[in-house]
Chains A and B, each alone.
Chain A
């Protein structure tokens, strides 16, 4: 490769760059000097041409489209829910479920008829009311305690909300609706995650099954090959024996 010599001087790099970008910051004298030099210097011409090529390639690099950039800048407050730690979100969800259970008059029991969960303001059965504590398992006592606690909390909530003005009630129901929406979103997220995991597991399973199938097919193929081979050998042996017998028979016929 031919290496051309350039006699432009120490500031050659800067002059090339200033020429390349046609920057007004470069001194006019420097530019004129370089423009005069360029036709006489093959090395500089090659450099300028190559770097122009680089610039053409650079021009094709565009960053990916930003996703909801403005909304993240302008709507900082919208991030508050995501900024809450996961444990706090879970705690909030559990608290909500607890309160919902209380509000719904949740009745969970496990007896001879199996597990039953009942909600709503239905009339309590006499059996439930008269259940003997002596016959209860420890978890039943816990459940009863939980039920009592929820009822107490519910009564307290109801008592505190009764004298409130209509506006406060509306605000509370709006908050409830908000919390419900968030919990629903959490549940939906969880479902989506589970579906993804399930899909991944199924894909993995299918892959394993397929690999096993391929492996079995190869084994079967090999075994068949061996069997065919041995059968072929047997057939050949039999043919040889038949040929020999035939020869012996013919020889005996001639005698």
Chain B
């Protein structure tokens, strides 16, 4: 039987550690992905993800279900990302590999994907990462939450604490910057 997040939260509060493990299992990847796309560093994203769940676990008794569990978790993760960025005092930098590692590429290859396709895909990912790293925090957060986590504008507005129209404007502006950067980089690559 599949329990809902809210049911698992209630069981966890009641002292069932396995329920919290199930929540971790369910949400660790989205939270890690959010952290990675926001701060751009694999190791730090992992730390943020870990810390998010630890904080959530500690604060679980105080969770009253005013928001969805996932929104609550996202908020904790975003706050941690914000702290991380503030602490680092610099724009987040996604670390692209210096050169293409064929062994890694071969390991990551889809069965039907040729090495050329794979290199092209990796290149595109690198371009996107670099372009995303140029965005201001609030635009990047809006795009990440919308594009990769499928949150509604309203949910994003509540999560980041700004009006709905501001979320849309940030998304639009972010997409425009990405469009410019991606087309610039694509031309440079050719």
Within 8 Å CB of B25, what residues of A? Answer: 70
CB atoms of A73 and B173 under 8 A apart: no
Let me know if B71 is at the binding interface, CB within 8 A. no
CA distance A55 to B182 in the complex (A): 11
Determine if B49 and A61 form an interchain contact, defined as CB atoms under 8 angstroms apart. no
Q: Which 8 A-B pairs rank lowest in CB-CB distance, beginning with the nearest?
A: A14-B168, A13-B172, A63-B36, A61-B128, A25-B153, A25-B154, A17-B168, A63-B33
Whether A58 contacts B36 in the complex (CB less than 8 A), given A63-B45, A67-B46, A74-B21, comes out as no
B145 to chain A, nearest CB (A): 11
Q: Assuming A24-B152, A50-B179, is B171 touching A17 (CB within 8 A)?
A: yes
Q: Is A244 an interface residue (CB 8 A)?
A: no
Would you give the shortest CB distance from B140 to chain A, in whole angstroms? 11
A23 to B153, CA, bound (A): 7
For window 153-200 of chain A, which residues contact chain B by CB distance below 8 Å? none
| Chain A count of residues within 8 A CB distance of the other chain | 33
Residue B37 contacts which of A18, A63, A67 (CB distance < 8 angstroms)?
Answer: A63
Residues in A whose Cβ lies below 8 Å from that of B128: 57-58, 60-61
Binary CB contact string for chain B from 79 to 90 against chain A (1 if under 8 A, 0 otherwise): 000000000000
Decide if A122 is an interface residue (CB 8 Å cutoff).
no
> How far does the alpha carbon of A26 sit from the alpha carbon of B49 in the complex, in Å?
31
Given known contacts A17-B171, A61-B128, A73-B28, A66 and B152 CB-to-CB distance under 8 angstroms: no
B50 and A73 within 8 A (CB)? yes
- Closest A residue by C-beta to B143: A58
In the assembled complex, the CB of A72 is this many whole angstroms from the nearest CB of chain B, namely 5
In the assembled complex, which residues on chain A have CB atoms less than 8 Å from the CB atom of B148?
58
A44 in the interface, Cβ–Cβ < 8 Å? no
Q: Is B32 part of the binding interface, using a Cβ–Cβ cutoff of 8 Å?
A: yes
28 pairs, A vs B, C-beta closer than 8 Å: A11-B165, A13-B168, A13-B169, A13-B173, A17-B175, A18-B168, A21-B171, A24-B152, A25-B154, A26-B153, A50-B179, A53-B179, A57-B182, A60-B124, A60-B125, A61-B37, A61-B124, A61-B129, A61-B132, A63-B36, A66-B42, A66-B49, A69-B50, A70-B24, A70-B28, A72-B46, A73-B53, A76-B54
